Structure 1
Amino acid sequence: MNIQIDTISYRSRFRKIPTIYKITFTFLLCVLIFLSHIPIQMTIFIGVFVFLSCYEKLPVVMLFKWLFVPSLFLFASMPAVIIHVSRLIEMDSDIWLSIIQVDNWQVYISVSGLELAKSIIYRSLSLFICVFALVLTTPFNEILHALHKLRTPQVLLDILVGMYRFIFIFLHYAGELHRVFHSRGGNATWKRTIHSVGLVIVQLFSKTFEKYKRMLLVMESRGFQDQLYYADEKSKTVSRKFVGGALFILVFLIGLEWWWRSN
């Protein structure tokens, strides 16, 4: 699973745009996603997806693969939102589907839980693809430098560096174990598949944390003193087309949200 995010970001057509402008635009889009309704969130999601596939020339299949991993964790957390437990005497019209009854208790899927889950899913996917578009159009070291200039606390920058490196280590070993799993016939039968998946998950996390510890040891051996330093970014000219386009998009989305609320 070699996703080559750094390679794509260095070749991006938007790399010439000053990083602070891109971060500001992404931040404003995220604020708008938090404050807007689902149709506007989906408009932003589709717009960013089309931008990445058409303008940045990224394969649609590749984008879906990248969206699959966070979506998997997102949907895995939804049962805690939609499943409720209450007494039978407290039941009301909020029940969408009854799952099981035990004595005076009932486990059910609630209507309000489904609405909340739908809101969380749309908002989370829209936020993720906006941040993901920033990462795909801007090298990570330039993002760190811009955040440093914006007076972001040093501890947050260090956490970002650690998480970014951890994700690449995780995906690297996930790809290796995926190839081993299929090359040894791990999916021949259903029982063997479950057993193999369990072994792969255990090996994946153990190898990932082992590699991560090695990375920390290397940093300490090279004089790491609880603070990372970031190279200065080359000066870039401000694109009037980008500023004008960003303002137009924001005004359009705000107008669309205002129209939706008025109706």
Structure 2
Amino acid sequence: MTIQIDSLAYTNRLRSLPPGHKLSFAGLLLIISAVSHPLVQILIAAWMSIWTVGYAGIPAKTYFKLVYAAIFFWLTSLPALVINGTDLAHLSLIENDLIGGLNIGSYYLYISHHGVIQAGAIFTRAIASLSCLYFIMLTVPFSELLQTLRNIGCPVLITEILLLMYRFIFVLLNTANEIWIAQKVRGGYRNFSTSMKSLALLIGQLLKRTLENYRQVLLSLKSRGFTGELQVWNSYRYRQSSRYSIEAITGIIFLIALEWVENGRIFTRV
């Protein structure tokens, strides 16, 4: 999946757009999604999905796999947000917040109305924010992202650390996949006991090989005359698109106006 994501960033249909424009567009929507209401957040998620799948040509299967992964993490946190508990003696205090529940001894577990609202708000904000991040990840190559960060004044040390971390993500995943396949072929995961032993061996070998790869990277940098700064060269020529620019500006203005209307409705109710 990660390798496919990296290749899509170089081959998508929005590749010719300047990376600074794409980063500014997604960054503004990310800020709006962090402070807006659920309706606006849902529209941002849908709109960014259209940009990513429709305009950039990213396969829907790949994109929605990433969305499903985010939904899975949200589901794991759902019980902690929705389920609450109290002593039976204090049951009258939660009548307005109670949706349903059951007794466990002298304790009462219940589904919280406030918790459901909070879970929904977290879901819409997370999906909207992730759709903006996925747009950047799937349409802007990492080297161009780092170059853009340098152009706007980001410290070189930070961009170099990001570059090395990004490179070692691939090394880590490829090494883990190779070890896992070798263990599975030898029956290393046929039951729970052997699975735990194989997992421990995998983690140990993964750490060992990662350190060895890190040492090889240092040696290769020194042999190539590394002077303390990693230079990223890019010869790709970008073309601005009036159509995409107009659509992006119009959409952002519409979302800001809609958020303004939503705020007005809330203040009117209060």
> Distance in 2 between the 1:25 and 1:64 partners?
21
Counterpart in the other structure of 1:77: 77
Aligned counterparts, 1:128-139, within 5 A: 128-139=130-141
Aligned counterparts, 1:166-245, within 5 A: 166-169=168-171, 171-172=173-174, 177=180, 205-206=203-204, 208-223=206-221, 229-234=230-235, 236-245=238-247
Q: Which amino acid aligns with 2:65?
A: K
Q: Which amino acid aligns with 2:230?
A: Y
Counterpart in the other structure of 2:40: 40
- Pair 1:102–1:160, CA change in 2 (3 A): farther
Counterpart in the other structure of 2:9: 9
Q: Which amino acid aligns with 1:141?
A: S
Counterpart in the other structure of 1:97: 100
> Distance in 1 between the 2:157 and 2:90 partners?
47
1:74 and 1:121 in contact (8 A); partners too: yes
- Pair 1:184–1:157, CA change in 2 (3 A): same
CA radius of gyration, larger in: 2
> Distance in 2 between the 1:79 and 1:226 partners?
52
2:12 and 2:57 in contact (8 A); partners too: no
- Pair 1:169–1:82, CA change in 2 (3 A): farther
Q: Which amino acid aligns with 2:110?
A: Y
- Pair 1:199–1:128, CA change in 2 (3 A): farther
> Distance in 2 between the 1:180 and 1:99 partners?
45
The alpha carbon displacement at 1:197 in A equals 7.1
The alpha carbon displacement at 1:82 in A equals 2.4
The count of aligned residue pairs is 257
Q: Deviations over 1:15-43 (max 9, x none)?
A: 22221221111110001101111121111
Q: Which amino acid aligns with 1:95?
A: L
Of 204-213 and 45-54, the range deviating more from structure 2: 204-213
Q: Deviations over 1:66-107 (max 9, x none)?
A: 22333323322333322334333344132333255343x433
SS at match of 1:151: coil
Aligned counterparts, 1:146-185, within 5 A: 146-154=148-156, 156-169=158-171, 171-172=173-174, 177=180
- Pair 1:261–1:204, CA change in 2 (3 A): farther
1:158 and 1:227 in contact (8 A); partners too: no
Counterpart in the other structure of 2:268: none
- Pair 1:172–1:144, CA change in 2 (3 A): same
- Pair 1:184–1:144, CA change in 2 (3 A): same
Q: Which amino acid aligns with 2:6?
A: D
The alpha carbon displacement at 1:208 in A equals 4.8
SS at match of 1:14: coil
Counterpart in the other structure of 1:143: 145
SS at match of 2:232: coil
- Pair 1:59–1:99, CA change in 2 (3 A): farther
Equivalent in 111, 118, 121 of residue 120 of structure 2: 118
> Distance in 1 between the 2:264 and 2:65 partners?
37
Q: Deviations over 1:174-224 (max 9, x none)?
A: 76648976997979xxxx5x7787677656655554443333222333357
